[in-house]
Each structure stands twice: as structure tokens, then as C-alpha cells.
Structure 1
Amino acid sequence: MSTTTTPSGPPSISPTRTVKAWWQAAPFTLVFVVFFLIPLALTVMVSFWNFNEYELIPDFTLRNYAAIFEGCSTLTDHGDFCVSLSTYLSTLKFCLLVWGLTLVVGFAVAYFLAFHVRSPGMQTLLFVLCTVPFWTSNVIRMISWVPLLGRNGLVNQGLMGAGLIDEPVEWLLFSDFSVVLAFVHLYTMFMIVPIFNSMMRIDRSLLEAANDSGASGWQTLWNVIVPLSKTGIIIGSIFVITIVMGDFVTIGVMGGQQIASVGKIIQVQTSYLQFPLAAANAVILLACVLMIIWGLTRLVDIRKEL
């Protein structure tokens, strides 16, 4: 018997079953501790260390955090923010743009697959086609845009051949536009999957009831489908935001090494062996991401919905 009963309450779990449950969770807990909690604790610890050109100095100092936002209390002579604050705002800008675009595209694709493709086999086929880009590396997918968007790329040649422009468009590549385009291309799938999963769990009788009540297609979408897909939207948003906020490869390649981001700063500081500064930036970035995630999880109880 795995449970025992008491006259005054519901059945209680036996100690033997509790011990078995802990042993089952132990391997996953160990992996979580070794590969997440310990590295995170080391990063936080190093962020308070001192350093010079030659070595790390175990110490407790707020110098690294102060150096990151040094001079940010006032605007520059040109009315701009300090470099660090401008970089964080630029990273947040890319995050919001990519989140909004991936949400629109991901919701539209998921809606089409869930409600307009009736055959389960065709749904599976189209869903697999959405994953085809993931069969190659991110770098290859990014580089594939260069022949299209470059000064002598296919897009510029096509526009000039059609007489729409007289000279190549410069902002198609190595710009904010190309960075956002690459992000949307790379990470829209992370939005499609959870939204599609939420939509497939919607009871179709609710849609029929809304239609019988005289609701229009947009009313059904906004008042029935969107609220019931909220869990998938939040999960997809968490995926996209956390990836984009820490990304530095995409911004480096598609921005032509001319656009700064927090991830890029951390990568540069690490290459110059400024590990305490990089760790401090990583801690601040993690705090920003956690605040965003906390705000998103206030909108829906993900654990309850799942």
C-alpha cells in the first residue's frame, strides 16, 4: 500500500513513496544544480571581484557595476544617453520589434494550421516544413540573406531592373532592418509551436457556439481564440525574448559589427579577459530578462494552464 488513511483527513502519502519520488527527481535536480545554479552563482560571485590587466583578484567590490553605468546620471553634450544605457535600450528595442513581428507571424501561421487545415496529415506535413530551416545552422541561415540584401544582391538588382530605384538601397544589409529580419527568420518557430499547441487544445464547440450566437470572425478571434491561446503566446514570448536579449552573433553578422548590444559587449569584454565586467553585465541582463518574464507570467498562470 502506498497510502495510509486517517480518520480526520484524506489519504496521506507514505514515506516510502516520498523517498522514491525524491530518488526519481534526483538526477534532474543534479543536472539543474551543476549546469545552471553553480555557473550562475559563480557568475554573480565573479561580478563582485576586482581585476587588472593580468589577473582576477577575489574581492568584494561594486566597481564593476559602477563602471558599467558611469556617467549615466546625466545626458551627454548631444542630449544622448551614456553608452551602456544606450546599448541596453538598443537591445530592448530589438527585443520588442522582434517579439511583435514574431507574434504576428507566429499567430497567423499557427491559426492557419490549427483552424484552416483540416487533415491531420497535412497539418503534420506543413508543421514539418516550418522546421526545415532548423536543419541548418543559424550562421548559414543568416549568411543566406547577404546575396539577397547586399548592395549588388538580388533585391537591389531586381528593383533597379524594374526601374523602381536608380541606385542600390544601402539600408537593406548591415542595418537595424537586416538584424530584425534575421531575428524574425531565425526565431519565429519558437512562437509558432506553443501557440499552435494551445490552439489545438481549444474545444471546437466553443467556436460553433460563438458562430451560432452571431459573432463575426473577428469577434470570435478576439474574444475566444486569443484568450484561449494566451498560454501559448506567453510561452512563445518568453522563448523569443530570452533568446534575443542575449544574442550577439546575429547582431554581429547582420549588423556588420556596427550595432552594439548587451550580448556583444559581454562577448567583447570576455575576449579582453575582463571577466568581472562581463559577469556584471550578465547579471544586469539576467535581471532585466527576469523582470520581463515576471511581468509576462503575471498575465497568465502558466503552471495552471499547462
Structure 2
Amino acid sequence: MRARWRTHGLPGWVQATPYSLVFLLFFILPLGLILAVSFWDATEYEMIPAFTAKNYLAIFEGCSNTAELCVSFKTYLSTLKFSFLAWACTLGIGFIVSYFLAFHVRSSGMQTLLFVLCTIPFWTSNVIRMISWMPLLGRNGLVNDFLLSTGLVAQPVEWLLYSPFSVVLAFVHLYTVFMIVPIFNSMMRIDRSLIEAALDAGANTWQILWNVIVPLSRTGIIIGSIFVITIVMGDFVTIGVMGGQQIASVGKIIQVQTSYLQFPLAAANAVILLVVVLMIIWGLTRLVDIRKEL
């Protein structure tokens, strides 16, 4: 038996057991607890382990009125809006940066150097990076000082900070690298002979980009999209700081509910958010078989 293990290694199920236990302990079990708590009852002083759907009914209370969207639907639409805007901006910037690194930087050393430069913002915390925008975008910040000094505006621009603009800007600043890394990895795996063949066939730059590079980079695009969308959908710190605590999101609602010890209601919101995110991921993975492409 020992000789066979030395030759062929341990059986697959034995090798997978430690990883399965970690997955079960730190992923499945916490999700199961959140799902269970979402059906608990609660008073002002305690949680009651009794099966009830009142938390889900409370979330969608008033949503039967067709004349106006309820607060929950408005909040989810707002969260989806920020996710879409952040995804679109990060995808555009990430694709351009990845394309430049993969096809216009010939030296592998320079590619590595520029790629590392893209990760420099991760050397500091998200909060510090967000706070760094305030001296620039504030009412008395550098941007407004420049606009006033040049006469482009007569009074400070208010929407630069504590607005949807500043929230999207922070998202793009924080999470563009999550789009750059997988797209760059996909582009580096493209066979350069395919591009040469397209050039020999008379294709111009835009035709090569649209018909060769984009389809062959779709795995990286989908993976980057999953990263950005899932992070933004659950984010509450960025919206709280850059939105001046004035912009609602699902993550922010969950954070407020937990701060007021409304754990069953927060768990119900978390379950609904998880379902929405999983639906988005499922839709994205229908576009490409990630397991096969990787």
C-alpha cells in the first residue's frame, strides 16, 4: 500500500478533504447560519429562534403599490446603478490598460514594472485612498480652487464630493485593478500568430481588436466583471464615506441594521443580496464556460 501511494500519491478524496473542510467551515457554515437567522424572530432585547417570514415581508412592505417603487426596490436599483457604472468604467479603463501592456509594451521587464505600478494603490488601505480624494474634490479643494482661479466657474462645484459622482470615482479608483489583472492575463495568452494572420488577410486595427482580441479576452472580461460587480454590490464603506452618508445602498442598510442589533432583518437583506449577486454571476457565466477557458 505504501509503495502504491509513493507511486501514485494519495487518493483524490483524501487530498481534497482539507480544502473541503476549510470550504465548509468558512463558507458553507456561515452562509447557513445567515440563512437560518434570517427566519428568526426578534424583539428589542433578544432574538427568538422561531421560523417566521416576517423579516422578508418587512423588507418588501409597501412594494405592492404599483404607483411608486417601494424603498427596498429603490435601494436595490440604486445599488445596481452604481454597480453598472463602476463596471462600465473599470471595464473601459482595464481593457485599455491591459491592451497597452500586452500589445504595445515589447519588453517583458517593462511589462512587469508597469503591471506592478498598477497595483501600487493596494499598498495602502481603501479608507486612506478614499480620504485622499477629499482635499481634491471638496468645496475648498484643489479642483475647485483651480476652476475658480481660471474663471471656469463662478462658485465652487458642489457635486464633486459627497455625490454619486464621487462614489463612482472612488469605485473606479479602488477596483479597476480587479479588471486589469484577468484581462491582461487573457491577452497575454493570445497566440500572436492569429493577429499576424488577420493582418495578412487585410484586417485593420479595429477589425483585429473587435474580431480577434475581444473574443479571445472574454474570459478575463467575465472574471473581472464578476470581481467588480460582487465587490461593489456589497460595498458600504465607500458609499458611506464618499456619499457623505446620504446615499442608500443595500450594503449600507445591512450595516445600519446590524449596528441597531436587528440581526434577523439584516440577515434577510443579506440573503436577498446574495441571491441577486448569484443571479448576476450565473448570467455572466452563461456567456463563457470559465472552467473550460481556464
* TM-score normalised according to structure 1 size: 0.93
- 1:90-114 deviations in Å (ceiling 9; x for gaps): 0000000000000000000000000
1:106 aligns with 2:123: no
Task: Quickly say closer, same or farther: Cα 1:134–1:71, change in 2 above 3 A.
Answer: same
Distance 1:91 1:243 in 2: 11
Distance 1:129 1:81 in 2: 44
Which of these residues, 26, 34, 51, is aligned with residue 17 of structure 2?
A: 26
- 1:260-271 superposed matches below 5 A: 260-271=248-259
The amino acid of 1:261's aligned partner reads S
How far, CA to CA, are the matches of 1:19 and 1:214 in structure 2? 54
The Cα shift of 1:287 comes to 0.2
Counterpart of 1:90 in structure 2: which amino acid? S
**Which 4+ stretches in 1 moved above 4 angstroms?**
16-19
**1:80 Cα offset (Å):** 3.8
Unpaired stretches in structure 1, ≥5 consecutive residues: 3-13
- Cα offsets for 1:222-251 (capped at 9, x unmatched): 000000000000000000000000000000
Tell me the equivalent position of 2:233: 245
Shift of 1:26: 1.3
Give the percent of matched residue pairs that are identical in Structure 1 and Structure 2.
77
Instruction: Map Cα deviations across residues 250-290 of structure 1 (whole Å, 9 max, x no partner).
Output: 00000000001000000000011100000000000000000
Name 2:290's counterpart in structure 1.
302
| Matching residue's letter, 2:43 | N
Question: Which position in structure 2 is the counterpart of 1:227?
Answer: 215
- RCO comparison, higher one (Cα < 8 Å, 6+): 2
Q: Which of the numbers 107, 118, 121 marks the counterpart of 1:119? A: 107
Cα shift at 1:18:
8.8
Give me the whole-angstrom Cα distance separating, in 2, the residues matched to 1:40 and 1:152: 45
SS in 2 for 1:131: helix
Secondary structure of the equivalent of 1:117? coil
Counterparts of 1:70-149 in structure 2, within 5 Å, are 70-75=61-66, 80-149=68-137
Unaligned runs of 5+ in 2: none
Q: Show the counterpart of 1:151.
A: 139
Offset from partner CA, 1:180-222 (integer Å, 9 cap, x none): 0000000000000000000000000000010111111000000
How many angstroms apart in 2 are the aligned matches of 1:67 and 1:218? 52
* TM-score of the superposed pair, with normalisation by structure 2: 0.97
The reply on whether 1:54 has 2:45 as its aligned counterpart is yes
Superposition pairs for residues 187-202 of structure 1, below 5 Å?
Answer: 187-202=175-190
Query: Partner of 1:300: helix, strand, or coil?
Result: coil
Aligned residue identity for 1:32? F
Instruction: String of CA shifts for 1:144-201, please: whole Å, max 9, x gaps.
Output: 0000000000000001111100100000000000000000000000000000000000
Which residue pairs with 2:165 in the alignment? Answer: 177
- 1:156, 1:69 → 2: CA distance? 42
Per the alignment, residue 68 of structure 1 pairs with 59
CA distance in 2 between counterparts of 1:237 and 1:18 reads 38
State how 1:197-216 maps to structure 2 within 5 Å.
197-216=185-204
Q: Report the RMSD for the aligned CA atoms in angstroms.
A: 1.6
Amino acid at match of 2:200: D
> Offset of 1:73 from its aligned partner?
1.3
- Which of 140, 155, 163 is 2:151 aligned to? 163
Please name the residue that 1:45 is paired with.
Answer: 36
Partner of residue 27, structure 2: 36
Write the mapping of 1:267-306 to structure 2, written as runs, cut at 5 A: 267-306=255-294
Counting matched residue pairs gives: 292
